Amino acid sequence: MLSDISDFLEDIRDPDMIPASVIIYSLDAPSKEMIELLYDTMYGYFIGEIIDSLTVELIVDCFASVFSNKEYVSEELILNGTYFIISIINETDFEISSGAIEKIIHTLELYLGILDINEILIAFEFFSDEWVYQLNPDQVLKYENSFSLFRIRMIGSNLKNYTITADYCNITFPYNTSFENNYVYDVSFEIIPLNETTLINVNIFQSGVFENYSLVLIDLIDANISLSDPIEIEIKNSLDFASLECYNYLNNDTSEYCRIENISTTSIFIEINSKGTYAFRQKEIITSSTNRAVWAPVTIMAALLSLFLLGVGGFFGILKGDSFTQTTKKDIIILIPIINIFRNQPILNRASISFQLISCQLFILSLIGWTYLFFDDPINKTDFPSYKIEHLKYAVIALFICQCYSAPIFALYYKALTQKKILYFHCIICLFVSLASIAFISILNTYYSPDVVINWTINYFISAVLEIIFEGIYTFVGLKVFGDVKGKSDRNYKKSLDFMNDEKDKEEKECDKEVPKDEISDEESYYEIVHK
C-alpha cells in the first residue's frame, strides 16, 4: 500500500498528470486511505480549474473511477463527491452531455441501500433535471439498470393517456387530468428496488409553454395537477410478491394516493393519484379486532341461522301435529316479517315468516359480497381502501337486486295464508335461497381480505335496515292488492285446522281430559288478515 501511495505521489508531481493518475490508480486502490487520497487530489486539482465542457467531462470520469470501488468508500466521502459534482454543474451555463449524466447516475446507483434514500432522490432529481435541460417536447429519456429512471417532457395534450413502455415497468397516464394543452410538463419517475421494498418517486413540473409553434422554457415549478384518474404503473419482477400495502415512504404512513390494484405472479399493478414518494411493505399482522372483523359476515350469518333454525323447528313441529295459538284479530302489522316473528300466531305461519325474513337477509348479505366481486375484483387486491361514501353504491345495488326476490316471496306469503300447500311451497323456496346464500357467503369470506370484509359488513347493516323498510311498504301495498282474501282465508284456514284439531281431540281423550267448548271455538277461529 505504501508503494502505491508513493508511486502515485511521484506521478502527480506534474499537475497535468493528476486526472490520468487518479483514474488509473483508482482502478486497483487497495485501501480506504488510498481512495481518500485520490479524492482529495482530484478535488484539489479541479477546484482551481476553469470549468468548460471538457473539464466537466474529465471531472465526471475521475468521479466515476474513484467511486467505482465502493468497498473502501465511506458514506461521507460519496456524499462529498456528489455535492462537489453538483456544485461544479451549478456553475456552468452550458449543457452537460447525456453520457456524463448517465455515468454519474450509474455511479450513484452503486450506493443504493448505502446512502440515505433522501440524499439519493435529491441527487437523481438534480441530474435528471440537467439531463432534460435542452430536451424538446414529446421526448422521453430512460435509464434502466438495477433501478429505472424516466424523464418525460411533453405538451399537456399529448401527455393525456400516454404510455411509457420499458423493460421492467409500464407507466400509463390518465386521460382525465388537469394538464393544460399548451403547457409543457416535465414528469420524473424513479423506481428503485431497496433491500426489503421497492420505492416509487413521482414528480410533475411545469417547464415551459408551447405557443405559436415555439417553445419557451422556464425554470421548473411544481405543477398544480389534479389527477382525478390515477397514473397506472406495472412493475415487473421486482418483489417477492406477498400480502403488500402501499405507503408514503417519507412519513411511513399508509397513503390514500397510492393503491395496489392487483398482484400477479410476475408483476404488481399500482395506481397513484398524486406526486410523492411511495413504497411497499408487508401488511401488518392482523390484530385481534381486525381478525374478528374478518368473520363478521359469518357471525351475522350465524345469528340469522339461529332464527332460521327456530323456524325449522316450528315447521316440523306443525307436521307432527303441534297445536296452534291464537292471535289478535284484525291486525295487519303481523305481515311485517320482523314484527310477525314476535307475534302470537300459528306455528306454521311463524315458521314460514321466519324463513322469509332470514332468507331475505341472507340473500342481501350474499348480494353485497357479489357486488364487490363484480365491480372491484377484491380477491386479487391486497390493499382495499377504507369505507367511503362511494362504497354505498354496493349496498344500493344489492338492495334493489334483492327486491326481485323479496317482493315476490312476500306476495307468495300473503297468498299462502289462504292455502296450506302454498305455505309449504313458500317455506321450500326460502330454504333453498337461504342455503345457496350461506354457501356463497362462506366462499367469499374465505377469499376476501379484512378490508373488504369490513366494507361488506358496514354495507350489510345499512341494507338490512332499508330492507325492513321495504317490507313495511310491501305490507301496506299488500293490504290494497290482496285485501279481499280475508273471507277465503278464514274458510281455508279453518279447514286446515280440522285435521290438527281431530288429532288434538284424540290426544285429549286418551288423557281423559275435557276441553271447554268455548276454548275449542276460540281455537278454531282464525285471525283476520285485514278489515274492510
Domain extents in the chain = 1-131, 134-284, 289-524
- Strand pairing of 214-222 and 244-248? unpaired
Lowest mean pLDDT among 248-252, 328-332, 381-385, 514-518: 328-332
Q: H or E element: which one contains 269?
A: strand 267-272
Cβ-based neighbour number of residue 257 at 10 Å: 16
Statement: residue 300 has pLDDT above 80: no
Q: Decide if pLDDT at 336 tops 50.
A: yes
Q: Are 326 and 518 in contact (CB under 8 A)?
A: no
How much is the pLDDT for 246?
80
On average, the pLDDT of the chain sits at 75
Distance CA 351, CA 363 (A): 18
Q: Is it the case that residue 84 has pLDDT exceeding 90?
A: yes
Cβ neighbourhood burial of 367 (10 Å; 0-12, 13-18, 19+): buried
pLDDT bracket for residue 519 (50, 70, 90): very low
Spatial contact of 243 and 283, defined as CB atoms under 8 Å apart: yes
Which has more pLDDT, 398 or 320? 398
What is the Cα–Cα distance from 176 to 178, expressed in whole angstroms?
Answer: 7
Please give the share of the chain, as a percent, with pLDDT higher than 90.
8
d(CA 218, CA 177): 22
Alpha-carbon distance of 530 to 532, in angstroms, equals: 7
Q: 252: phi > 0 → left, psi -120 to 50 → alpha, else beta; which?
A: left
Least confidently predicted of 22-36, 144-158, 452-466, 489-503: 489-503
Q: Is the dihedral of CA 511, 516, 521, 527 positive or negative?
A: negative
Higher-confidence residue of 36 and 455: namely: 36
pLDDT of residue 290: 41
What confidence score (pLDDT) does residue 318 get? 46
Average pLDDT over residues 202-209: 86
* Beta carbons of 170 and 234 less than 8 angstroms apart: yes
Question: Hey, what's the cell of 393?
Answer: 353504491
**Region of poorest pLDDT, from 21-25, 52-56, 145-149, 258-262:** 258-262
**C-alpha grid cell for residue 338?**
320482523
- Residue 512 or residue 369, greater confidence: 369
Tell me, what's the pLDDT at 515? Answer: 46
On the 0-12 / 13-18 / 19+ scale of CB atoms within 10 A, 376 is middle
**C-alpha distances in angstroms, 289 versus 283, 293, 299, 391, 472?**
15, 6, 14, 22, 35
Per-residue confidence (pLDDT) for residue 2, from 0 to 100:
46
Residue 287 CA to residue 478 CA, distance in Å, equals 48
For residues 169-192, average pLDDT: 83
Cell 415487473, located at residue: 236
The rounded percent of the chain whose pLDDT value lies above 70 is 71
Closest CA to 57 of 92, 33, 26: 92
- Residue 272 parent element (H or E): strand 267-272
**Per-residue pLDDT, 241:** 52
Record: fold of 134-284:
Chondroitinase Ac; Chain A, domain 3 (2.60.220)
Tell me which amino acid residue 434 is.
S
> What is the mean pLDDT of the segment spanning 454-473?
81
For residues 13, 15, 20, 25, the Cα torsion angle rounded to the nearest 10 degrees is: 40
Best mean pLDDT range from 143-157, 226-240, 308-322, 334-348: 143-157
More confident site: 312 or 455: 455
Query: Which residues on adjacent β-strands are paired with residue 233?
Result: 171, 270
For the chain, the first-to-last Cα distance in angstroms comes to 113
Please check the confidence at residue 498 and state whether its pLDDT lies above 90.
Answer: no
Distances (CA, A) of 304 to 300, 314, 357, 435: 6, 16, 9, 12
CA dihedral over 172, 258, 169, 75, signed as positive or negative: positive
The span from the CA of 346 to the CA of 360, in Å, is 21
pLDDT digits (tens, 9 = 90+) for 191-205: 888 777 788 888 888
At 291 the pLDDT is 43
Stretch 67-86: mean pLDDT, rounded? 90
Residue-wise pLDDT for 416-435, tens only, equals 766 777 878 888 888 888 88
Whole-angstrom Cα distance, residue 495 to residue 500? 10
- Per-residue pLDDT, averaged over 386-406, amounts to 84
Higher pLDDT, 515 or 438: 438
Task: Give the integer Cα–Cα distance in Å for 459 and 455.
Answer: 6
3-state secondary structure of 317: helix
Task: Say how many C-beta atoms besides its own lie within 10 A of residue 497's C-beta.
Answer: 19
In the numeric block, which cell numbers belong to residue 101? Answer: 449524466
Find out whether 263 and 379 touch, Cβ atoms under 8 Å: no
- Is the entire prediction scored with pTM above 0.75? no
Residue 241 to residue 263: CA distance in whole angstroms: 7
Range picked from 22-26, 91-95, 431-435, 462-466 for highest mean pLDDT: 22-26
Are residues 54 and 62 in contact, defined by beta-carbon separation less than 8 angstroms?
no
Residue with cell 433501478: 147
**Amino acid found at 319:** L
Instruction: Residue 155: name the closest of 211, 197, 116 by CA.
Output: 211
Q: Is the dihedral of CA 421, 424, 428, 429 positive or negative?
A: positive
Distance (Å, whole) CA 44 – CA 19:
11
> Cell 386521460 identifies what position?
175
| Cell matching residue 262 | 392487483
pLDDT at 302: 57
